[in-house]
Amino acid sequence: MQPEPHTVNLPAHDDIRRILIMKWSALGDIAVTTAVMEDVRRAFPDAEIHLNTLPPWQNLFDGDPRFGKVIAIPLRRQGLVNSLRWLREVRRNRYDLIIDFQSNDRSRILLTFLKLSGAGVRWMMGNQLRFPYDLGAGPLPKSTHALTRVRANVASGGIPTVTPLPAFHIPARNRERAAELLRAHGLQGKRYAVFLPGCQAAGYLKRWGAIRYSALAVYLCEAGYDNVVLLGAADEMEECQRIRAACGEWVVNLCGRTEVLDLIPLCEQAACIVANDTGTAHVTAAAAVPMAVFFGATDPRRARPIGDHVVTLQAEIYCINCYRKHCSHHSCVELVSPEAVFAALKKLKAVS
């Protein structure tokens, strides 16, 4: 039986001087969790905080003043070798508090070995109140949003949670690159929408489709938008090219020309964002501009980008939230019409 959750006021403990935050993946989950990372930083302003993530996401925290060190060990490769490397690194740093936002079997096993090795970590926090964790949330409904879950974790340690949006540190070079792209394409001072029309190839059921994005672009043009800007990575290239070919030169295709942290300053100048349910949608929610996000097989109650400026769209069908990776009728997300998206943007006052 799981013990009843209890609360300890950790920020009142002067002896918590070094903290490790663990969050390994994926991009969307990391973006959501940055809001609570910010809360931890505010609760312990004098502590040294380290972040443990996986190598693909290390560059998201380059130069981030909140973290004295970023530990990025490829735990998914050479499992035993890198697990031992992780244990040695974490033992060496002598943490007073470890907050496990990953909280999966692997992180729990590693922390169990760490505790049994006598590492002397005074507090371990996870999303379940069981060994090796000293603090954690009680059971939550399956439909609980990821942000609510991580907030419940830190609440068990008396840490206030007030940050409403993803909180990234944007280095000057990313802001400069975004500004240069806006200048180069004549977007400064223009009213433009940002589309995030792709996703990784394995998640093709999340794609709303180039035809529907192209139709929405026409609606926005008729509503007075000057441009649509397409953003994405290599897996989204073909989808962006199809939209650009259908709509013409007023659609600016920046797919493949940006880093993840360029996206936020590019979106801060936009009038709205329209996106599939992908990690970059969660990142760009930090821009705090009106955003419409499509959901198909995944549950928006659990996975929507955070913020009051976000609206989700999903077809009401019998197999809703099935979480399948493959589907015989391709994708229920395609049942959302461009007209419905345009109406949602009207409610967000992104169009008049």
**Residue 305 in domain:** yes
Which ranges of 122-164 would DSSP assign to H, the alpha helix?
146-155
Q: Concatenated DSSP letters for 260-295?
A: GGGHHHHHHT-SEEEEESSHHHHHHGGG-S-EEEEE
* Full-model pTM: 0.94
**Residue 288 in domain:** yes
CA distance 165 to 32: 8
Last residue of a domain, one of 155, 190, 205: 155
Number of domains in the chain: 2
**Residue 312 in domain:** yes
Last residue of a domain, one of 155, 184, 217: 155
50 and 189 together in one domain: no
Last residue of a domain, one of 100, 129, 155: 155
322 and 245 together in one domain: yes
**Residue 204 in domain:** yes
142 and 216 together in one domain: no
> Could you tell me the residue range of the domain that residue 201 belongs to?
172-347
**Residue 341 in domain:** yes
Q: Show pLDDT as tens, one digit a residue, over the chain (352 residues).
A: 444 556 799 999 999 999 999 999 999 999 999 999 999 999 999 999 999 999 999 999 989 999 999 999 999 887 899 999 999 999 999 999 999 999 999 999 999 999 999 999 999 999 888 899 999 988 889 899 999 999 999 999 999 999 999 999 999 999 999 999 999 999 999 999 999 998 876 677 889 999 999 999 999 999 999 999 999 998 899 999 999 999 999 999 999 999 999 999 999 999 999 999 999 999 999 999 999 999 988 899 999 999 999 999 998 887 887 777 777 666 788 899 999 999 999 999 999 8
136 and 198 together in one domain: no
CATH of the domain at 255: 3.40.50.2000
Instruction: From residue 278, give the alpha-carbon distance in Å to each of 14, 106, 193, 343.
Output: 40, 24, 17, 22
For 206-238, b/e burial (b = at least 16 CB within 10 A) is: bbbbbebbbbbbebbbebebebbbbbbbebbee
**Residue 56 in domain:** yes
**Residue 161 in domain:** no
* Residue 298 CA from chain centroid, whole number: 15
